[in-house]
Amino acid sequence: MTTPPPAARTAHTTRAHSFNAAAAQYAAARPSYPPALLDAIEEEAGRPLEGARVADIGAGTGIATALLHARGAHVIAVEPGDGMAAQFRRTLPDVPLVRGTGDALPLADDSVDLLTYAQAWHWTDPARSVPEALRVLRPGGTLALWWNTDVNEIAWVTEATERIERYFGIDLRAERHMRPHDADPSGRLDFVRRVVRWSRRIPVDTHLANLGSHSFFLVRDEEDSAAFLAEEREILLRTFPDGIVEEVYDVRLLIATTP
């Protein structure tokens, strides 16, 4: 893998840390993940989550951790950010949380059956996070990475994505569709891909708060982001006059079992 230039690395780090200032908004507005995703993880891992030793990395406010915990897994969460960790502790006071990153996991060798990264692997450096995953997973353990991604064949989603890409100068689709080779350029992990489609119906303001909790908004000047969201609200209310938006997601799962 080529090393990105220093300015790109700084921008990446700024975005990786941007969530801390918006942790309450993140917890209230971000989508969760469907039960079928957890079923797919159990199928690919070849074992139930019940009783499994799981570490959820980049746990954030605990959206994925809560689902793993509810299935009876013994979960430990790992999160680097102050704001996200504080929000996590308010939401899931009984689930252990340790501070750290996927690049230097604060976990013992061979200590977990399953390592999960919900929308978080792309913030790690795979040159470090892959060897760390292999170190802490027991032999035959499973690494599961997933992302809620927009379904771009839906017209209003395509149009909104194009508006965001133009305004923020980013390639949203490329950012959210991580291929196995990008997830592990070393090729040590043999990923299986699964896609799970699901949807939720929410008030337009929750949809906008969800949008506004993404890192490309959080690192942008507040007035700029507010102006974009106000215009977006007008456009969306023309498509959804009853004020209820249907967000449709493909959860893209990359899952690999270690030798």
- Residues lying near ligand SAM in the complex (CB under 6 A): 16, 19, 30, 57-60, 63-64, 79-81, 84, 101-103, 118-120, 123-124
Tokens, residue 19: 């969530």
Q: Cα–Cα distance between 37 and 39 in angstroms, integer?
A: 5
Helix (H) or strand (E) holding 164: helix 155-168
Q: How far is the CB of 124 from ligand SAM (least distance, A)?
A: 4
Helix, strand or coil, per DSSP, at residue 129: helix
Give whichever of 89 and 240 is closer to ligand SAM, judged by the CB atom: 89
Strands 97-98 and 112-118: unpaired
Q: Spell out where the chain has E strands.
A: 53-57, 74-78, 97-98, 112-118, 137-150, 192-203, 244-257
Q: Who's near 35: CB < 8 A, 6+ residues apart?
A: none
Give whichever of 63 and 208 is closer to ligand SAM, judged by the CB atom: 63
Q: How far is the CB of 234 from ligand SAM (least distance, A)?
A: 27
Give whichever of 119 and 257 is closer to ligand SAM, judged by the CB atom: 119
Q: Cα–Cα distance between 111 and 42 in angstroms, integer?
A: 18
Q: Cα–Cα distance between 168 and 55 in angstroms, integer?
A: 34
Q: How far is the CB of 130 from ligand SAM (least distance, A)?
A: 13
Helix, strand or coil, per DSSP, at residue 229: helix
Give whichever of 182 and 233 is closer to ligand SAM, judged by the CB atom: 182
Q: How far is the CB of 242 from ligand SAM (least distance, A)?
A: 28
- For residue 67, the Cα-to-chain-centroid distance in whole angstroms is 14
Give whichever of 119 and 206 is closer to ligand SAM, judged by the CB atom: 119
Residue nearest to ligand SAM (CB): 60
Q: How far is the CB of 139 from ligand SAM (least distance, A)?
A: 23
Q: How far is the CB of 129 from ligand SAM (least distance, A)?
A: 7
Q: How far is the CB of 84 from ligand SAM (least distance, A)?
A: 4
Give whichever of 14 and 239 is closer to ligand SAM, judged by the CB atom: 14
Give whichever of 42 and 103 is closer to ligand SAM, judged by the CB atom: 103
Q: Tell me if 103 sits within 8 A of 73, measured CB to CB.
A: no
Annotate 94-125 with b (16+ C-beta within 10 A) or e (fewer).
ebebeebbbbebebeeebbbbbbbbbbbbbbb
